[in-house]
Amino acid sequence: MKLSSLVPPPGKSKYELAIVAAREARRLNDWTRRSGETLPGKVTAVALERVIHDDVPYYYEDPSIILAPPEPPLE
Which conformational region is residue 42 in: left (phi greater than 0), alpha (psi within -120 to 50 degrees), or beta?
beta
Position 25 scores a pLDDT of 93
Position 49 scores a pLDDT of 86
Please state the domain extents for the chain. 11-67
Position 27 scores a pLDDT of 92
Residues 6+ apart with CB under 8 A from 27: 47
Q: Please report, in tens digits, the pLDDT of each residue of the chain (75 residues total).
A: 555 556 666 666 778 888 888 999 999 999 999 999 888 889 988 988 888 888 888 777 666 665 555 666 666
Measured over all CA atoms, what is the biggest interatomic distance in the chain, rounded to whole angstroms?
65
- Give the single-character DSSP code of 54: T
